[in-house]
Amino acid sequence: MSDPVSTRRPRVTLEPAALQQLIDTLRTDGFRVIGPVLGNGSIVYDDLTSTSQLPQGRTDRQQPGLYRLGTREDEAWFGYAVGPHSLKRFLYPPVTRLWKAERKGSGLTLVPEGDEAPPTAFVGVRACDVAAMLVQDRVLLQGPYIDPAYRQRRQAAFIVAVNCGSPGGTCFCASMGTGPAVKTGHDIALTEVLADGAHAFVAEAGSDRGAALLGRLATRPVTDGEAACAAAAISDAARHMGRTVAAEGVPERLAANVEDPRWDLVARRCLTCANCTLVCPTCFCSTVEDETDLSGAHATRVRKWDSCFTLDFSYIHGGSVRPSPYARYRQWLTHKFGTWVEQFGTSGCVGCGRCITWCPVGIDVTEEVRAMGGQAPSDLPVASA
Amino acid sequence: MSAAVASPMVPDLYRVRQVRRETDDTFTLELGLARGSQPFRFLAGQFNMLAVPGVGEVPISISGDPGAPDTLVHTTRAVGAVTRAMRAMKKGDMLGVRGPYGTGWPVTEAEGHDVLVIAGGIGLAPLRPTIYRLLANRDRYGKVVILYGTRTPADILFRREVEAWRARLDVEVYVTVDRATEGWHGTVGVVTKLIPKAPFDRTRTVAMVCGPEVMMRFTALELEKRGVETDQIYLSMERNMKCGIGLCGHCQCGATFICKDGPVFRYDAIKGLLSQREI
Amino acid sequence: MHTLEPILAEHPFLKDLKQEHLELLVGCASNVRFEAGAFVFRQGQEANHFYILRDGKVAVELFAPQRGAVAIDTYGEGDVLGWSWLIPPYHWRFDARAIEPTRAIALDARCMRTKCENDHELGYELMKRFARIIEQRLDATRWQLLDVYGVRS
């Protein structure tokens, strides 16, 4: 779907008006366009029809357990990191209907449910979220059984990514090798360039259809200044990550420290509220539930997001295998940073920092990963956004 | 809009042919396809996801004969809403079946070896297909020894079949119970007690163990003590499952998914996991 | 009792016992037989023997009101029955009943205790062997106590 990094396509510049043209063209082509907008006190993904809906001149301040909207000194349209939503919400929705059954006497009829999502174009997607989408592809599309609804939504998805210029206080995509520039998985990648009163977007196609769409927009060649500005924005962002983590050897270290006293410490703080798994763009655990009407003759089976933090996640006749919060926190962290690699060939973490921001008690996975096995906590400076 | 988007999560409909009470809390379901009559081919050790629409879906090991695939047989304990609903079913009732899933017992790898089948409690059910396969191809194996331990004589599963196997001249069967009341003249004691009695050649034996996890753990340790290599012992693991196809995440144990990397595992691959608490 | 010596020498419990110790044991040994259903010993009785089982089957039972006799262990060929003779006040704490015709060699407890007091090497050798049996039985009892096959609701 998208090119490997080596075959770089020529870049073009889009003026701000061309971005509106991009949105309009996608909508005319039949896509529902989703992009970042203000909502719920944060920046969320929702329907986008106009660039005026983008959080222009806005930014975010993210710390463990803290998210605040702020105002920038410039009018950047993408001058913030990620909010609580990720593409997961649209590609792997929280509730999906699987089938309907009807009982008549001792007979039963069963009808599969179709998925009715329109093709969706995502504008303003960050590198961490594109990487997360590719991580979920491995889980949901490359095993012995696949998720057909995910595949359908995935194939119909058009990705217009934005390379980060303003990493957040909890971001660590550079450590995880997933950003700040998007590498693959996108149709178009934009880098916002804002200097000396000029505002433009350096655009690069990541796929044939991305190139085709760019070809239909009002573009112009990239100036040297713009190219330099774009490159500087990305390397600057890489140097100002809110957090770092040494990703080497983490799976082995977690596997060797299953009873590290550190787990006790973090377990005492953890509320097992499952916020981290809800905001995590790669978490894929689900459950199924049967919904019936009062007559009991009609039942619908739905699949819902689930979390390994819930007590009955691991329940088998008589009890849960992981009753303690200690075991449940350990399961999540060890899976995300450790066993995921053995299972799917990459880390489960893309360094988006959401779990750190949205944890009500501010547990920082980079600290926990660093501390397991007796490594001292780091005193890296934390960038204030 | 596309149909069958949920396909691996959509069950086939099967009709109940018979529900048989085995012990106080254990029953057997015999099923046939609701429409048509396709044989259900499976490997000994595999399981199905059985669905009672409106109630739920659970993983249940197949307990029938792989060589007689026209009837689909499951044996399980009635311990929750779904299994209790299944136990209350009558002939002609329908339920959903998805499968077969998972890895099977090493019935082919065991050819040319002595075979030690060790079952604890309900663990005899997932091992029964293996026993059928061993007995149907008896000349491919060395000694065949079945050791079965359960709670009390009233809890002996498939008692008539166990007695029939025991009556054969080419199979050794030893049964023990944790405790017994008057009238039981068999062995009393923990199942590992039977291992010294079992006549197997530890240098060319494959052991297949199934039962509660604690029982499998102490049985495997006892086998190791008696010189059976850890790569000659196989266990069947169990975890919560919501999909059975490696997508819901519930059945993970360490890095393994019990539904697709198991449920049958070679002991050396999971020995470390077994000794970790709450994994 | 020369005929008992080879039988004792072959028994797994006494394997590799020194010849002089074996001869000491033989001095305390006698041949016994229990019909199916006969008690080998009763709870509360003085533990005057321990038994080296040659064949048959003996169940160790406890009688509980309303439950009847509950068997918690069985022993047969190659097993040793009874260690209460080793530990004061030398009383059986369970019933033992033959559930099949059973042949055994009974070893007189007082005779054994005297010989062990006089010959500490014999005493230590027997203690080592009984310690192993007690360990195995304790492990087994604990696993049975776990009630692993029970259904928890």
Give me the residue spans of the domains in chain A: 11-239, 250-371
**Mind giving me the DSSP string for A234-262?**
HHHHHHT-S-----TTHHHHHHHTTT-HH
User: What is the pLDDT, as a whole number, of residue C2?
Assistant: 58
- Which structure tokens are listed for B97? 């079946």
Laid out side by side, the sheet with A298-305 consists of A107-112, A95-104, A298-305, A286-292
A317 CA to chain C: closest CA distance, Å? 7
User: What is the pLDDT, as a whole number, of residue A106?
Assistant: 81
Last residue of a domain, one of B40, B74, B101: B101
Average pLDDT over residues A78-82: 97
**Total structural domains within chain B:** 2
Question: Do residues B123 and B90 both lie within one domain?
Answer: no
- The verdict on C153 touching B (C-beta cutoff 8 Å) is yes
Among B30-39, B262-271, C97-106, the least confident range: B30-39
Question: Quick check: is B1 in a domain?
Answer: no
pLDDT at B4 exceeding the cut of 60: no
Average pLDDT over residues A342-357: 98
Last residue of a domain, one of B75, B101, B127: B101
Determine the Cα–Cα distance for residues C145 and C153; give it in Å rounded to an integer: 18
**What is the tens place of the pLDDT at every residue in B79-116?**
999 999 999 999 999 999 999 999 999 999 999 999 99
- The verdict on C58 touching B (C-beta cutoff 8 Å) is no
Question: Do residues B228 and B181 both lie within one domain?
Answer: yes
Rounded to 5°, the CA angle A224-A226-A232 comes to 105
Determine the Cα–Cα distance for residues A302 and A285; give it in Å rounded to an integer: 14
Question: Do residues B201 and B239 both lie within one domain?
Answer: yes
Average pLDDT over residues B129-139: 98
- The verdict on B4 touching A (C-beta cutoff 8 Å) is yes
- The verdict on B32 touching A (C-beta cutoff 8 Å) is no
**What is the tens place of the pLDDT at every residue in B53-71?**
999 999 999 999 999 999 9
What CATH number should be reported for the domain holding residue B267?
Answer: 3.40.50.80
Q: Letter for the amino acid at B129? A: P
Question: Do residues B96 and B131 both lie within one domain?
Answer: no
Q: How many CB atoms lie within 10 A of CB C129?
A: 16
- The verdict on A286 touching B (C-beta cutoff 8 Å) is yes
Question: Do residues B131 and B267 both lie within one domain?
Answer: yes
Question: Do residues B244 and B143 both lie within one domain?
Answer: yes
Average pLDDT over residues A312-323: 92
User: Which chain B residues in 48-87 lie under 8 Å from chain A, judged by CB atoms?
Assistant: 51, 53-57, 77, 79-80
Average pLDDT over residues A42-59: 97
**What is the tens place of the pLDDT at every residue in C73-97?**
999 999 999 989 988 999 999 999 9
- The verdict on C67 touching A (C-beta cutoff 8 Å) is no
Last residue of a domain, one of B37, B70, B101: B101
- The verdict on A292 touching B (C-beta cutoff 8 Å) is yes
Average pLDDT over residues A183-209: 95
**What is the tens place of the pLDDT at every residue in C123-132?**
999 999 999 9
User: What is the pLDDT, as a whole number, of residue A4?
Assistant: 52
Q: Do A327 and B246 touch (CB under 8 A)?
A: no
- Which structure tokens are listed for B258? 């019990």
Confidence category of residue A381, pLDDT binned at 50, 70, 90: very low
Question: Do residues B269 and B167 both lie within one domain?
Answer: yes
Question: Is residue B165 within 8 Å of residue B147, measured between CB atoms?
Answer: no
Question: Quick check: is B263 in a domain?
Answer: yes
Question: Quick check: is B108 in a domain?
Answer: no
User: What is the pLDDT, as a whole number, of residue A3?
Assistant: 53
What CATH number should be reported for the domain holding residue B28?
Answer: 2.40.30.10
- Which structure tokens are listed for A132? 């997360």
Question: Do residues B133 and B270 both lie within one domain?
Answer: yes
Domains (range + CATH), chain C: 4-145 (2.60.120.10)
Chain A contacts of C152, Cβ < 8 Å? Answer: 317-319
- The verdict on C100 touching B (C-beta cutoff 8 Å) is yes
pLDDT at A378 exceeding the cut of 60: no
Q: Which domain holds residue B157?
A: 114-274
Question: Do residues B124 and B213 both lie within one domain?
Answer: yes
pLDDT at A380 exceeding the cut of 90: no
Chain C contacts of B184, Cβ < 8 Å? Answer: 71
Question: Do residues B153 and B269 both lie within one domain?
Answer: yes
Confidence category of residue A301, pLDDT binned at 50, 70, 90: very high
Determine the Cα–Cα distance for residues A374 and B262; give it in Å rounded to an integer: 34
**For chain C, percent helix, then strand, then coil, each to nearest 5?**
35, 30, 30
pLDDT at A5 exceeding the cut of 70: no
User: Which chain A residues in 237-266 lie under 8 Å from chain B, judged by CB atoms?
Assistant: 258
**What is the tens place of the pLDDT at every residue in B188-215?**
999 999 998 888 999 999 999 999 999 9
Confidence category of residue B273, pLDDT binned at 50, 70, 90: very high
Average pLDDT over residues B238-247: 98
Per DSSP, A297 falls in state: S
Q: Do C153 and B211 touch (CB under 8 A)?
A: no
Q: Do A339 and B10 touch (CB under 8 A)?
A: no
Question: Do residues B57 and B171 both lie within one domain?
Answer: no
User: What is the pLDDT, as a whole number, of residue B196?
Assistant: 87
Nearest to B79 among C69, C144, C151 (CB): C151
- The verdict on C147 touching A (C-beta cutoff 8 Å) is no
How many CB pairs (< 8 A) connect B and C? 69
pTM as predicted = 0.92
Strand ranges for B107-196 from DSSP E: 114-120, 144-150, 172-177, 187-188
Question: Quick check: is B2 in a domain?
Answer: no
User: What is the pLDDT, as a whole number, of residue B36?
Assistant: 84
Question: Is residue A270 within 8 Å of residue A329, measured between CB atoms?
Answer: yes
Neighbours of chain C (3+ CB pairs under 8 A): A, B
Determine the Cα–Cα distance for residues A160 and A205; give it in Å rounded to an integer: 9
Question: Do residues B152 and B89 both lie within one domain?
Answer: no
User: What is the pLDDT, as a whole number, of residue B1?
Assistant: 38
